[in-house]
Amino acid sequence: MVAGQTRAEVYAAGGIAATGNEENYGLHRGVLGPLETLAQSVSAMAPSTSPSLTIPLVFALAANATWFVYLLATGATLLVGFCVSRFARLSASPGSLYTYAADTLPPVFGVIAAWALLLAYVATGASVAGGALYYAGVLAQQFFHWTPPALLILAVVCGVAGLIAYRDVKLSAELMLWIEVISVSLILIVLVALLFRFGLHFDLDQFKLKGVTLSSLGPALVLAMFSFVGFESATTLGNEAREPLKTIPRAVIQCAILAGVFFMLCSYSEVLGFRGAPSQLSDSTSPLHLLAAKAGISPLGIAIDVGAAVSMFACVLACTTAAARVLLRMAHARLLPAVLERTSAKHGTPGVAVALSAGLMFAMTAALALGGVSGAEMYDWVGSLSVFGFLTAYALVAAALPFARRALGQHSHWVAGVSAVTVVVMVLIVIFDLRSATDAIHARIPWIYLGYIAAGLGWFWARGTTEGLGTKELRD
């Protein structure tokens, strides 16, 4: 930022990405094109894992309304995407949602956004590492009748993801893109074949929401939202994306729309495909494998299981990349030690932050594995924790948007209204989440999250500095 220039003036001049060298953070600027930027968001969502692990959980609650729940989740995600994309047109920074909140709201809210977003990415990576462990076990049993050591699988997944994230952000983005393209394509082939096998007709039970109770939709919506979290993670590549003020907003909205259509198609097709099956969709350990056999293309079922495992690795890679950028930005704001700002001159990546991100994911999952927790349970429990982090960051960004626009003299009642609705929707989802806790583990998760945020605030107050948070500059 140029000396004497306010944050609002930086916004008006075209965003943080266009300012002085001190905002480069040591990252390689402009190395990622539009598709590679989109790949970051797509991979952080890991869309090819939801048809196998998340949609069956949603079906257990919503049954014939599964597709409708994903429609509601798509709407909620687009509300968030609207607010995020509006901010992304103004500024580009590796801190993403944290920077948006910190540049506008009082310091305490910026700190909450920072710690919430960090937990969101780390916990999502850990959750999906647990999913990779689950699928590694499924495939090893299927081919070798052997269960691999949990710690070995987790170490390989987190370690290799950390190494690739450190080596080259462009390489990691291209790898994530191809993994997701192949995985999603295989799933779409099975679903289209299944629809043709059953005939192109409407499943009236699904469209009439037969047997669905209103009370079940709230908890199901919470689960469906986990399929979308991470869709905004392209914003963490603000310094590395080419023309970030254009490509990042587009990537955020495109990701939300494409994912929503994909999840609705998957949920409708899976519910239809399990009609008359001897087992329920909610009880299946590999639903797409069974549907591929039903569609007469069994080999693709095996390929989809392999693709799901590899896609989960891509998600761990995406979350490692995103979490490392958030750590870098937090260190830049003096919320964390300066060592996390260090970047490799050769690779243009924050090596210490990448190592810490991957290490935290491994530590979380390893501790659970040593406690006898299965990969599927890790995916569920740690994923539930990550949702609180994302919802907090989403709500704070939505709340900050009208204030940022007012500071630029661009106040809009329509934008303010959308922001208010988004905040209300995020709060309602949190309430649904709290009410849907059906066991002791899930009941403790909100308290674990609140304790974590309290510790983050305590660390902030103990350090006694607001340097780098941006709020004072905006107000000046």
Q: State the pLDDT confidence band at 145, using cuts at 50, 70 and 90.
A: confident
Cβ neighbourhood burial of 166 (10 Å; 0-12, 13-18, 19+) = buried
pLDDT > 80? residue 465: no
Residues 307-322 have pLDDT tens digits of 888 888 888 998 999 9
Q: Is the sign of the CA dihedral 168, 171, 174, 178 positive or negative?
A: negative
Residues 205-251 have pLDDT tens digits of 898 888 888 777 888 888 899 899 889 888 888 778 888 888 999 99
pLDDT for position 196: 78
pLDDT > 70? residue 466: no
Backbone φ and ψ for 277, nearest 5 degrees, come out as -75, 150
**270 with 59: CB under 8 angstroms?**
yes
Element housing 450 (H / E): helix 440-463
What is the average pLDDT across 109-128? 94
CA 281 to chain centroid? 25
Please state which of the ranges 61-70, 87-96, 179-188 shows the lowest mean pLDDT. 87-96
pLDDT for position 119: 96
pLDDT for position 127: 94
What is the average pLDDT across 451-470? 79
Backbone φ and ψ for 211, nearest 5 degrees, come out as 75, 10
Calculate the average pLDDT of the chain: 84
Following DSSP, what letter does each residue of 100-127 receive, concatenated? Answer: HHHTTS-HHHHHHHHHHHHHHHHHHHHH
pLDDT for position 9: 44
What is the average pLDDT across 348-357? 91
Q: State the pLDDT confidence band at 52, using cuts at 50, 70 and 90.
A: confident
Q: State the pLDDT confidence band at 472, using cuts at 50, 70 and 90.
A: very low
* Rounded-to-integer distance, Cα 471 and Cα 101, Å: 9
> Which of 249, 272, 217, 270 has the alpha carbon at shortest distance from 435?
217
Cβ neighbourhood burial of 204 (10 Å; 0-12, 13-18, 19+) = exposed
* Rounded-to-integer distance, Cα 322 and Cα 316, Å: 10
Q: Radius of gyration over alpha carbons of the chain, in Å? A: 22
pLDDT for position 10: 44
What is the average pLDDT across 28-40? 83
Q: Identify the three-state secondary structure at position 372.
A: coil
> Which of 379, 386, 395 has the alpha carbon at shortest distance from 427?
395
Residues near 370 by beta carbon (within 8 Å), at least 6 away in sequence: 151
pLDDT > 80? residue 66: yes
* Rounded-to-integer distance, Cα 374 and Cα 368, Å: 8
What is the average pLDDT across 283-287? 76
Residues 338-347 have pLDDT tens digits of 899 888 878 7
Q: Extract the tokens encoding 114.
A: 């920072």
pLDDT > 80? residue 15: no
CA distances (Å), 109 to each of 105, 312, 463, in order?
Answer: 6, 32, 16
Q: State the pLDDT confidence band at 37, using cuts at 50, 70 and 90.
A: confident
Q: What is the DSSP letter of 408?
A: T
pLDDT > 90? residue 394: yes
Q: Extract the tokens encoding 363.
A: 């530590």
* Rounded-to-integer distance, Cα 64 and Cα 85, Å: 33
Residues near 230 by beta carbon (within 8 Å), at least 6 away in sequence: 41, 44, 45, 46, 120, 121, 124, 315, 318, 319, 322, 390
pTM attached to this predicted model: 0.87
Q: Extract the tokens encoding 420.
A: 């208010």
> Which of 333, 314, 381, 356 has the alpha carbon at shortest distance from 93?
333
> Which of 32, 39, 34 has the alpha carbon at shortest distance from 182?
39
Cβ neighbourhood burial of 344 (10 Å; 0-12, 13-18, 19+) = middle
pLDDT for position 78: 96
Please state which of the ranges 164-168, 193-197, 386-390 shows the lowest mean pLDDT. 193-197
pLDDT > 80? residue 402: yes
Residues of the chain with pLDDT > 90, as a percent, come to 36
Residue 254 corresponds to which amino acid?
Q
> Which of 300, 296, 272, 275 has the alpha carbon at shortest distance from 286?
300
